[in-house]
Amino acid sequence: MLSNPLTELWTLYALGVSFTVLRTYARIAAVGFRELHADDYLIWLAILIYTAQCTLGYNVGAAAHGLANNGMSDEQRNALSPDDPEHTWRVIGSKIQVAGWTTAACLLWTLKLCVTLFYLRLTTGLRRYRIRIYFAMGLIGSTFIIVIMTIYLSCRPFHHYWQINPDPGNVCQAAVSKPILWVSFVSNVFTDVFILLLPVPMLWRSSLKLLKKIAATLVLSAGVFIIVCATLKSIYVIVDPLNGGRLAAQWGTRETFVAVVTTNLPMIFPLFKTWLAPFLPSFFRSTSHNKAYKTPSAGFVTIGGSGPSNGSTNRQGAHHISANMTFDNESEEHIVGGNGDVKMQSMNTIDGRPRPPNSIVVSKQVSITTEDRGRDRSWKSFQRM
C-alpha cells in the first residue's frame, strides 16, 4: 500500500468510483437504462456515503491532525488546557471518529444490501433460494440497527465521546471503543459469511465443469477480502489500544474500498472478459451457440445482463423447471428437466408415423408447472466464461 495515508485514501476512492462507473456502463450497455434494477441505483447511494467517509478521513488529518481523545495518559490529560489548540483538535477528531463509525456502517451495510438485491434478481423463480436471500436481508437490517445503537448508546452521556479530561474511558473513546469494535466486527463478519455462502449451493449443483464452478465461485466470493481487512483492523486496536487506532483507520479505508470493488465485480467481470478476450485462454471463451428458449414466466437472469421484465408467478408458486446464470452481457435461456432437455415431438409425425398429406392436426398446449423444492437446479450456462 501507499506510504502516505491521504494519498492512499484518495487513490482507493478514485479506483472505487471508477469501478462503479464501469459497473453502471456495463449494465446500461447490456440492458439499457430503463432496465436497471434497484441494486444498480443503490450502489450510487453507497458511493455518496463512501464520499462522505473519505471526506471525514481526510479531515482527521487536515482538521484534527490525526488526534482524538484516545492515546493519552492521565498526566497528559491534566496538562492539556482547554485553550490549547491541541485540545480543540482532539475534540474535533473525536467527533469525526463517531461520524466515521456511522458512515462506515452505513456504507458496508448498503453494499451488503446491494449484493443481496443482486442475488434476488439472479434467482427469480427459485423460491427456496429466494427465502434465504430474504432472510439475509432481514439479517442485514437487524445487525445494522444493532451496530448503530451500539455507536450511539454505548457511551452515556453522549458528549463524553469528545471529553478529554477526565479520561472518559474506553467505551467513550470512539477510535478504540471495544463495544463498537466487537459489535461491528462480529456483525460485519457474520453477515459477510452468510452472504458469501448464498450462491454456493446453486452454483455447485449446476452442471458446469469443475473449473468454471471454481472460477465463478472466486468471482462471487471475492468478499472474503473484506473479512480479512475487518479482522486486521480489529487486531490492531486490540493489540495496541494506544496507537492501534491509526493503523486500524488505514485498514478501515482498505476495507471499504475492497467492499466497493467486490460488490461491483460480478457486473464488471463480463466487461473485462470482453476486453481481454483476445488474450485469454480458451477456457474463458464460449463455444456454445445453442438457441435459447423461454417460457412466459421464466425468470432467467444474467450477471451483467437483464432480469425478467415480469417476475410474477402463479399462486401455487409454480416456476420454470430450471434457472440458469451466465457471466455474459447477453441473455441466454434454457429449459432443463431433471434428466436433461425436454424433447418436443415433431409435427411431421403422428404417434411416430408419418403424417398423411393434407391432414389436419389438432394440438393441445399443456402448461406444466412445478413447485420449486430446490432440487435438480441447473445453472447450465455461465457462457463465455
Domains in the chain, CATH or no CATH each:
5-279 (1.20.1070)
Mark the ranges of the chain whose per-residue pLDDT is less than 70.
1-3, 280-385
For residues 134 and 117, give the distance between their C-alpha atoms in angstroms, rounded to a whole number. Answer: 9
The pLDDT of residue 316:
40
The pLDDT of residue 325:
42
CB count within 10 Å of CB 134 equals: 12
Q: What is the CA radius of gyration of the chain?
A: 26
Three-state secondary structure of 108-166: HHHHHHHHHHHHHHHCCCCHHHHHHHHHHHHHHHHHHHHHHHHHHHCCCCHHHHHCCCC
Q: Specify whether the CB–CB gap between 329 and 30 falls below 8 A.
A: yes
Q: If residue 349 lies in a helix (H) or strand (E), which one and from where to where?
A: strand 349-350
For residues 145 and 113, give the distance between their C-alpha atoms in angstroms, rounded to a whole number. Answer: 14
For residues 101 and 184, give the distance between their C-alpha atoms in angstroms, rounded to a whole number. Answer: 9
CB count within 10 Å of CB 167 equals: 18
**Which one-letter amino acid corresponds to residue 171?**
V
The pLDDT of residue 60:
92
**HSE-up of 385 (CA within 13 Å, CB side)?**
22
The pLDDT of residue 121:
87
The pLDDT of residue 168:
96
**Which one-letter amino acid corresponds to residue 202?**
M
For residues 83 and 102, give the distance between their C-alpha atoms in angstroms, rounded to a whole number. Answer: 29
The pLDDT of residue 2:
59
The pLDDT of residue 217:
76
The pLDDT of residue 280:
63
The pLDDT of residue 212:
72
The pLDDT of residue 1:
53
The pLDDT of residue 353:
54
- Cell, residue 144: 445494522
Distances, alpha carbon 106 to alpha carbons 43, 50, 87, 98, 188, in Å: 12, 9, 29, 13, 12
The pLDDT of residue 180:
95
